[in-house]
Amino acid sequence: MTAALLHYRKLTLESFEELAAAHGSVVIPLEQSPYWADFEGSLGRDPYGIWAYYDADALVAVASFLRIQRRFRESMVVVNGPVWFHPRTPQMELRLMNTVRDQFGKDGSVNPLYVRMQIQNPQPPADGPLEHGWYEREIVVDLTPDEKAIFKSFRPNARNSIRRAERSGVDIRMIDRVDRVEVFRAELFPILEETAARDGFASFESGYYEKLLTELGDHLRLMVAYVDGKAVSWLITTEYRGHAVYYFAGSTQEARKTFAPYLLLWEAFKVLKAAGSHSCGLTGIVSENYPQLINVTTFKRNFSRKVVEVPTTYDIPLDPARYRAVAVVLRARRALPSGARKLLLGAASQASGLLRFRGRPRG
């Protein structure tokens, strides 16, 4: 027997704030807030709204959806969510999955191939995902003890590196809000490009970070380490409802020689603690689906032994047959050299059109 679907309602900014205030002990990621949705909108993306899901009168979960349109597929993506207010049992998670399938299957204004969200208890209809969307393990630093106790909790390598940076004359500065965009564009984005080239990852264009610093200015800080007046390392932290996140960072080779990143992060912890944050997540570390994070894992583990498991991202297909067809195309494309990919994509575009025609009708 199929379990009953949950009830849901779309939240306004005011109703979201009322709901959040009534559940002060629940960690709500900034990405699941209206403020992050506004940031996504400023980038030209399509935030589709925040919904609350209920079992009778009991609040179960809240999810902020981002509508994504890519080749072959449209999707609804819940970034770093949903947020759970109810025990996350396999039965309740299944009811939520079935509810969002029904919700967006009936919504004639969209036609998603799947809904993507974090699932703690993998079970049908969860599938895939076609590509992973969020890290699965992170280091979290407890900021509730006094500064001396926090420093003592670091591994010896971190404590020694902080002291070396202080002896090297590393100067840590908080960048004022009015100066953030100019400083980032002129001094810090080149450092990010160097970091990306050195560590083998792709960064966004400078405009993305500039929008972040502008649109989410009330919820973040920009701090920079200088050596002899030159920026060598920087970080952006976010803060929301007492939880901070070490979100973006970059450093030069010179920064590593002076151990500047260690002192910079330590000074950030002190600022965040003083501002009322009780914890700071250091974002992703190495896991089964993210082996490439091994390099940053070594650095982050110096600051805390607390590893938090984050539910893996899965897709919830609304049209399973078409979803499987798209999955086959994407796997083949990733396995082929670039020239052959173009031929495959041309054929796949025609096949995808046929699959769309055979799918559910648009309202």
Instruction: Per residue of the chain (363 residues), give pLDDT as tens.
Output: 577 999 999 999 999 999 999 999 999 999 999 999 999 999 999 999 999 999 999 999 999 999 999 877 899 999 999 999 999 999 999 999 999 999 999 999 999 999 999 999 999 999 989 988 788 889 999 999 999 999 999 999 999 999 999 999 999 999 999 999 999 999 999 999 998 888 777 889 999 999 999 999 999 999 999 999 999 999 999 999 999 999 999 999 999 899 999 999 999 999 999 999 999 999 888 788 787 778 788 999 999 999 999 999 999 999 999 999 999 998 888 787 755 444 444 443 433 333 333 333 223
* pLDDT value of position 1: 53
Q: What whole-number distance in Å separates Cα of residue 136 and Cα of residue 286? A: 8
- Cα 206 from Cα 203, distance rounded (Å): 9
Q: 347 CB contacts (<8 Å, ≥6 apart)?
A: none
C-alpha distances in Å from residue 318, one per residue of 73, 139, 228, 292: 11, 34, 57, 31
Strands (E), 56-136: 58-70, 73-78, 83-84, 114-119
- Give start-end residues of each CATH 3.40.630.30 domain in the chain: 7-134+313-358, 137-309
**Of residues 259, 264, 299, the one with CA closest to residue 282:** 299
**pLDDT value at position 338?**
55
Q: How far apart are CA 11 and CA 318, in angstroms?
A: 24
Dist. CA 12–CA 299, nearest whole Å: 40
CB atoms within 10 A of CB 356: 17
pLDDT at 135: 85
**Considering the entire predicted model, what is its pTM?**
0.88
* CATH number for the domain formed by residue range(s) 137-309: 3.40.630.30
Pair of tokens at residue 70? 């890519």
Q: What is the pLDDT of residue 284?
A: 85
Tell how many helices (H) and how many strands (E) occur in the chain: 13, 14
Q: What 3-state class would DSSP assign to 18?
A: helix
Burial of 353 (0-12, 13-18, 19+ CB in 10 A): exposed
> Which CATH code of 3.50.50.60, 3.10.450.40, 3.40.630.30, 3.30.110.70 fits the domain covering 7-134+313-358?
3.40.630.30
Query: 114-119 and 73-78 as β-strands: parallel, antiparallel, unpaired?
Result: parallel
Please give the pLDDT value at position 354. Answer: 34
